[in-house]
Amino acid sequence: MSRKILVAEDDPHIRLGLVDALSAEGYSVVECRDGVEALAQIRNARPDLILLDVMMPRKSGFDVCRELRAAKNTVPILMLTAKGQETDKVVGLELGADDYVTKPFGLRELLARVHALLRRATHDAAPTFRPDAIRFGRVEIDCPALRGSRRGELFELTPRELAVLVLLDRERGNAVSRETILNEVWGIEYYGTTRSLDQVIVKIRQKIEDEPSSPRHLLTVHGLGYRLEA
């Protein structure tokens, strides 16, 4: 069965080009013109991956991404951002997007990123060991529920945030390189930069640290990566 990709793009020329290119690669493609239509099609078509333009009528790509992640929908999202809009990239990653390409983009690069995200999603779906709970300091995390508490205050975790914490907890007390975290959590074929990881670390610290700007548990190992301490 071919993998299904949803293309949400309001520019008809770009949308047609994407549909043709993806169809030629053997993917089943569903196309949408705005964010409202995209959310409806996601519920009906259950795509394996979403190409999501940031600027769309009725609902932006940011709004669609935010609603999907709030609903615990972990479908891979590849954001299409405007040239030179670094803020769009950062906001998209913070909302839970998996990767982005900047317009104008080359089809070869886009197809490579699509392929990598689908490979990663297949890898993530494979059974892997995950503890029932992680505890350090005054933080307790219920892994199956994607939920934790710090000093009695509850917080939610995204699947990627939990995956980073599980890896760091497995190596607790040891420094783990950015490359290792990206390979294990994002996938060995990840084409982005370490900025994606750094943004996830910021979000985790906001949840688990009393003072995120002066962390006690999730520490930066300069020139290498991160370390989790009790």
CB count in 10 Å sphere of residue 127: 5
3-state SS of 103-128 is CCCCHHHHHHHHHHHHHHHHHHHCCC
Q: Where in the chain is the domain with CATH 3.40.50.2300?
A: 4-125
Asked if the model's pLDDT at residue 124 lies above 70, the reply is: no
Confidence at residue 127, expressed as pLDDT on a 0 to 100 scale: 43
Phi-psi region of 104 (alpha: psi -120 to 50; beta: other; left: phi over 0): beta
Question: Among 24-28, 38-42, 52-56, 128-132, which is the least confidently predicted range?
Answer: 128-132
Lowest mean pLDDT among 49-53, 111-115, 185-189, 223-227: 185-189
- Take residue 153 and report the two structure tokens written for it: 């205050």
Q: What's the CATH class of domain 133-228?
A: mainly alpha
Integer angstrom CA distances of residue 130 from 72, 145, 165, 185: 18, 12, 10, 13
Q: Which range is least confidently modeled, 35-44, 47-56, 81-90, 205-214?
A: 81-90
> What is the average pLDDT across 90-98?
83
Distances 34 to 55, 58, 203 between C-alpha atoms, Å: 9, 6, 29
What is this structure's pTM? 0.60
CATH label, 4-125, candidates 3.40.50.2300, 2.40.400.10, 3.40.190.10, 3.40.50.620: 3.40.50.2300
Residue 191 pLDDT exceeds 70: no
Residue 61 in 3-state DSSP?
helix
Task: Answer whether residue 123 shows pLDDT above 70.
Answer: no
What average pLDDT does this structure show over 102-120?
Answer: 86
pLDDT of the residue at 128: 53
Average pLDDT, the chain: 88
Average pLDDT score over residue span 121-141: 76
Query: What was the pLDDT predicted at 117?
Result: 85
Q: What is the average per-residue pLDDT within 9-37?
A: 94
Query: What pLDDT score was predicted for residue 126?
Result: 45
At 185, the pLDDT band (50, 70, 90 cuts) reads confident
Are 80 and 52 in contact by the 8 Å Cβ rule? The answer is yes
Report how far residue 121's alpha carbon sits from residue 116's, in angstroms, rounded to the nearest whole number: 9
In the chain, where does the domain assigned CATH 1.10.10.10 lie? 133-228
Mean pLDDT, residues 206-229: 95
Q: List the helix and strand counts (H, then E) for the chain.
A: 8, 12
Q: Name which of 115, 9, 57, 85 is nearest 98 in CA terms.
A: 115
